[in-house]
Amino acid sequence: RRDTPSDNNNDGDDTTKKRSSKKDKKEKKKKKDKKKDKKKHHHRDKHSVEAVATATNTLSSPPLPSPPLPNVVVVAPPASATPSKSSSKLSSKVKLDLSPWEASCERLVSRILKLDFVTAMHFDAPLVQKFPDLAKIYKSIVAEPMDLGTLRHLLITHAIADPVEFVRLGRLICDNAKTFNAGPDAASVRVRETADHLSYDTYVMIL
């Protein structure tokens, strides 16, 4: 059987309808996909806006006030609390309260005490204090012990009557050293020579 023109037309219409329905389905699917994309973008935009708002609030919020610092008051010490060198020297002179000759002799003894060999040869303090083991034999040889430290103490306590007594006690220091160190050994010879030198220098200084 041959197809009539009407049949051919019907087939063409069916084909056209199928094609149009397919197009409609595709368009509907595209619209759905677009709606989904819009929803996704809207959801993302919402989250991004919230994140930006949170960051903005964090940045714009003022910092917490720091606790107040304690008030520290620095009080300067009074001028009298830190005396100058001149004032300390003046006060030491007032404390000693020495007569002119006592002050001169005290300066002399203090100057001699600063010499290195005086300490090395034990002229600066009682020998029995430095060497307690020698106390018995020393007292058996030396009747009147004397040293420069004791001599200065006697001066500042006004225990020396006059310059003559001061000279006697000064020479006594040297005589005691020579008496106790009378041996022929090198150490004793050196002590005797130092005592003579010290006695001569003291005599010259007093003059």
The answer, yes or no, to whether residue 142 has pLDDT greater than 70, is yes
Please identify which residue in the block is written with the tokens 């000693």.
96
Same domain, 36 and 106: no
Residue 195, number of CB atoms within 10 A of its CB: 21
Same domain, 130 and 196: yes
Q: What is the mean pLDDT of residues 7-22?
A: 55
Residue 69 within a domain:
no
pTM of the shown model: 0.54
Instruction: Give the model confidence (pLDDT) of 49-81 as tens digits.
Output: 454 444 444 444 445 555 454 444 444 444 444
Contact 104, 202 (CB under 8 A): no
Same domain, 123 and 190: yes
Q: Which of 74-78, 127-131, 136-140, 179-183 has the lowest mean pLDDT?
A: 74-78
Same domain, 122 and 202: yes
CATH number of domain containing 103: 1.20.920.10
Per-residue buried b or exposed e for 119-133, using 16+ beta carbons within 10 Å of the residue's own CB: eebebbeebbeeeee
Please identify which residue in the block is written with the tokens 């030396």.
142
Our count of domains for the chain comes to: 2
Which amino acid does the sequence have at 169? L
Burial class (CB in 10 A: 0-12, 13-18, 19+), 156: middle
Q: How confident is the model at residue 141 (pLDDT cuts 50, 70, 90)?
A: very high
What pLDDT is stored for residue 95 in this prediction? 64
Residue 72 within a domain:
no
Structural domain that includes position 93: 88-206
Which amino acid does the sequence have at 115? L
What pLDDT is stored for residue 32 in this prediction? 67
Same domain, 21 and 111: no
Residue 128 within a domain:
yes
